[in-house]
Structure 1
Amino acid sequence: MTRYASVIGIKPESIAEYKRLHAAVWPDVLKQLKASNISNYSIYLKEPENLLFSYFEYHGSDYEADMAAMAADPRTQDWWAVCKPLQSPLDTRNDGEWWAEMPEVFHMD
């Protein structure tokens, strides 16, 4: 199992809509997350900075292939098309990132 964390901004005027969407995530999107070996997935909101923090655990053996399969899923693409306009990617993110990945610096079991 590998843990992943990332961060992205959210437009202040989009917070209510983002919360509404994530209160009832589309079942096909949840199914694809599980098929891509993702579990224990959470998103947190920090206000007034308007940052979303994401955490999940990956239980597969080929992360790149599983992420590519998720990105190719039409229903997931539809979900991202709804969510992405609400988000504000960080200027400091790496090339190719939407959510900026965050390395783990401490963990206690």
Structure 2
Amino acid sequence: MQHVLALDLKDDPALIAEYEAHHRAVWPEVQAHLRRHGVTEMKIYRLGTRMVMVMHTDDAVYDAARMQAASESDPVLVEWEALMWKFQAPTPWTPKGSKWIELQKVFDFRSPPV
């Protein structure tokens, strides 16, 4: 299944550059956590301070609540999330206490095979 989520970054070019540097070398424990919880592919795009994550999951394994709970109980993941929050900011539409928020699909075009 595909999930599309949004989050903002703090409007500071130095912080944005540091955030991107961290994502060129994501900790192996973070990547292992994603794999364990059924994330098969993840891409993050940025325009200014707005980020969009496209995540593909194996529905037989993926459970967002279970993945979040595991993140909150693993000291390495807690450290990664605290580090990332140094750079991140909620969007104006993000509920209090949340970070990445799932976007609503408004259009889906598929061209038939030729």
Same fold (TM over 0.5): yes
Q: Which residue of 1 aligns with 2:10?
A: 11
Indicate if the aligned counterparts of 2:42 and 2:53 stay in contact, CA closer than 8 A.
Answer: yes
Q: Write out the 4+ residue segments of structure 1 that deviate beyond 4 Å after TM superposition.
A: none
Highest CA radius of gyration, 1 or 2?
2
Distance 1:61 1:77, change over 3 A: closer
Partner residue, 2:100? 99
| SS of aligned partner of 1:7 | strand
> What percent of counterpart residues are identical?
25
- Secondary structure of 1:12's counterpart equals coil
* TM-score, normalised by the number of residues in structure 1: 0.83
Q: Matched residue of 1:18: which SS? A: helix
In structure 1, give the amino acid aligned to 2:5.
S
| Alignment partner of 1:68 is 2:73 | no
SS of structure 1 residue aligned to 2:65: helix
Asked if structure 2 preserves the Cα contact closer than 8 Å seen for 1:8 and 1:88, the reply is yes
Residue segments in structure 1 that go unaligned for 5+ positions in a row: none
Deviations 1:29-63 (A, max 9, x none): 1111111111210111112xx11111111212544
Map 1:1-109; keep pairs closer than 5 Å. Answer: 2-13=1-12, 14-47=15-48, 50-59=49-58, 60=61, 62-105=63-106, 106=108, 108=110
Change in CA separation of 1:98 and 1:62 when aligned onto 2, cut-off 3 Å: closer
Q: Are the aligned partners of 2:39 and 2:62 in contact in 1 as well (CA < 8 Å)? A: no
Number of corresponding residues: 106
TM-score, L = length of structure 2? 0.80
Structure 2: which 5+ residue stretches go unaligned? none
- Cα-Cα RMSD: 1.9
Q: How far has the Cα of 1:88 moved from its partner?
A: 1.3
Shift of the 107–79 alpha-carbon distance from structure 1 to 2, 3 Å rule, reads farther
Q: Secondary structure at the match of 1:66?
A: helix
Report how far residue 65 of structure 1 moved. 1.9
Label 1:30 to 1:107 Cα distance change in 2 as closer, same or farther (>3 A).
farther
